[in-house]
Chains A and B, each alone.
Chain A
Amino acid sequence: MKRFIKTLIALSLTAVLGLCPLTGFAASESITYDYASSCDWLVTVINPETLSSTTSSRTFVISAVAVEGSVITVYSLNPETNLYEKIYVDGVPLETTVGASGLYAQQITLKDGTNNLMVYASNGVDDQAIRLDITLLEETFLEKLWFVPLDLVNLLQ
């Protein structure tokens, strides 16, 4: 009986330890609005260039450079719960492990108005959360801009 219990404990420990790295990397389904990062060196978001930005394009690509091996997850703020919730596209979360190049790019579809997003990076020990507010401008106005001389478009941007 003792031997059986020992085996059971050993097996349980192996299973728990084996799963540890996976559970450590998997980001939680939601993050509180005021969540504080444990570090500021895991990821640098490079598109958008500022934490608050506007765009005319419904299809937006968030890009970043990050530490190899870190997992980057994109969240969207649910104003009803005041929680950042993991974004799923076709049942798959927007979660990517950064490779040796350190480059990261994720396409998202913006809703009308302001999109409160969070880019969350974690290496299993430390984590970093970056909040982004991206406002989708009305297309009717900006779509007309294409015929304006490029220099003027450049100035406006």
Chain B
Amino acid sequence: MLKLRIKKETLKTYTLVALIISSVFLTGKIWLDEKLWPEGYNFFAIITDKFTPQQEPVVSSLTKETIAFPKTLIVTNVEKRSVYAADSEQFAAMLPEIKLALRTALESAETTPITEQEWAVALKTRSIHVVYPVAYDSALFLNILGSYQNKPDSAPVREFIITANDVASNTVNVYIRNQATSEITKVPVSMSKQVFDSMVDSYASHSIGSIAYSSELNFDKAATGGLQKVIIDSGVLIQLNKQINNMVEEINPIYSDGEFNPEVVEGVLRQFGCNADNTRKYTEKDNSVLYVENYASVKFHTNGLIEYKSVNNSKGIPLGGSDFYGGLLGCVDFVNHMWGEVFPSTPLNINISSDVIDAGSNSFMLTMDYFADGAQVNISLPQTTSHQAMNHAVEITVVDGKITSYRQMMTYYKSAEQSTDGVSTIEALDKLMAENDMQGQVIRDLYPVYISDGSPLLKSAWAVRTADGKTVVIN
């Protein structure tokens, strides 16, 4: 009897100890923000989900964080190389570590100037080449990345390379190119060797031979003999083979079957502080509709273009910020908020396309462009009797912290489930040079774009940005 009681007590003690250990372990998991089960199983959450009506989340890519999204991440590992755009899982997986490395590098004072040749070598070693769509003022860029350090020596930055340092240390080198002067500096930054190796080993997967840097082909310097007509910057990728490109379909969500969508019109007017019921409305010959109130007008065009204009600079829409940075974030919030209100279930795939350089004033002009299938959409809407030409998704004019003019092509894109045969980069350049006098030009960037010219299906093409700032699309 006594033996049985002792066994029972021992069993109780073991059970109690097991429960205490289990509770400590599970509490630790919660404190460390880990999943309680490897598969993320949560009985209560699943039951709650079953009985809670699902709400469509407002999807948007345009936030303070995403305006600092690179255009491409190019990962090189000896003979392998891959290019990732913002819509890929691999991009999302690498981005937090990369942003942290860039932020630390920009904050650091431990910089060493390096040569163009060292930059070219860094591109072809085990590296991650980070390319932004536009140049950012480095001080402003630090703010966007979440740093509040004020650095007096600000410079426009757009391209970075992260390379391994040496086998023994947990540091990487971040190479930063000054976009205005082309000067390059190297900054050692602490990053776990394991993390860097894992990114390079996992994400560089295609043969290096099919996508080569201009510097690997020596297209970045003038050849002897005078045969070279064009110089291509070292970091520009040359795609050697033809590719099959997906086509995308352009959707005009504001005008269909001969009439404007009233909900969209009301939603847009609300954003500009107008009310559809008590605002004067005029329908023009081309079916565009103009709403006029005391201090502003909003015009809706059948092709999807909306235009807001205040009567004078003091009557614009206040953004809240007192400086350039505040104004910039105000613009981002405005575009984001309007889209979320008008098209709550459609993702807004857009990014800034004009350089983000602090001119020391809260008066500036900002442009944004849509992205589809990882490529920028080049809108090319010609001037009509009803509106000026439109070459961006969004054009915002800010004067003294107020939006005085706002233009947006209200469109979104979805896969057309069709594809076309693309051309190699050199074939595209052949076409460009055959049609334009580019002799002696320096090409700063060469990238795929979709051309939006009014046709419902958009084909992919190559775009070239030259040293004099011109962008030419090769159709």
Contact = CB atoms under 8 A, between A and B. Distances in A.
B185 interface: no
Contacts of B229: 65, 101-102
Interface stretch (A3-11, A112-120, A143-151): A143-151
Q: Which of A46, A149, A154 has the most CB of B within 10 A?
A: A46
Contacts of A67: 227
A58 interface: yes
Nearest to B428: A101
A146 B164 CA distance: 8
A61 B219 contact: no
Contacts of A151: 118
A66 interface: yes
Contacts of B121: 150, 153-154, 157
B78 interface: yes
Nearest to B77: A146
Contact of A102 (B208, B212, B228, B427): B228
Interface stretch (A14-22, A28-36, A75-83, A103-111): A103-111
Contacts of A146: 78, 125-126, 164
Contacts of B209: 59-61, 107, 109
A63 B219 contact: yes
B182 to A, nearest CB: 19
B433 A101 contact: yes
Contact of A46 (B167, B223, B431): B223
Q: Which of A67, A99, A149, A150 has the most CB of B within 10 A?
A: A150
B236 interface: no
Given A59-B208, A59-B209, A154-B117, A147 B167 contact: yes
A146 B433 CA distance: 38
A148 B167 CA distance: 7
Interface string A37-67: 0000101101101000000111111010111
Q: Which of B122, B165, B173, B208 has the most CB of A within 10 A?
A: B208
A15 to B, nearest CB: 30
B292 interface: no
B225 interface: yes
Contact of A149 (B166, B224, B241): B166
A43 B209 CA distance: 22
A41 B430 contact: no
Given A46-B223, A101-B433, A107 B78 contact: no
Nearest to B241: A107
B79 A57 contact: yes
Contacts of B118: 150-151, 154
A58 B209 CA distance: 9
Contacts of A63: 217-219
Contacts of A100: 430-434
B166 A49 contact: no
A103 B219 contact: yes
A47 B218 contact: yes
Contact of A44 (B224, B230, B427): B224
B78 A143 contact: yes
Interface in B193-241: 207-210, 212, 216-219, 223-225, 227-230, 238, 240-241
Given A57-B208, A61-B240, A101-B430, A149 B165 contact: yes
Contacts of B117: 154
A41 B216 contact: no
Nearest to A42: B227
A147 B217 contact: no
Nearest to B127: A150
Contact of A57 (B78, B219, B432): B78
A61 B429 contact: no
Given A44-B223, A44-B224, A147-B167, A59 B207 contact: yes
A7 B306 CA distance: 69
Interface in A122-157: 143, 146-151, 153-154, 157
Contacts of B230: 101-103
Nearest to A107: B209
15 contacts: A46-B217, A47-B217, A59-B79, A61-B212, A67-B227, A99-B433, A100-B430, A100-B434, A102-B229, A103-B429, A106-B240, A107-B210, A150-B165, A151-B118, A154-B117
Interface of A: 41, 43-44, 46-47, 49, 56-61, 63, 65-67, 99-107, 109, 143, 146-151, 153-154, 157
Interface of B: 78-79, 117-118, 121-122, 125-126, 163-167, 173, 207-210, 212, 216-219, 223-225, 227-230, 238, 240-241, 426-427, 429-434
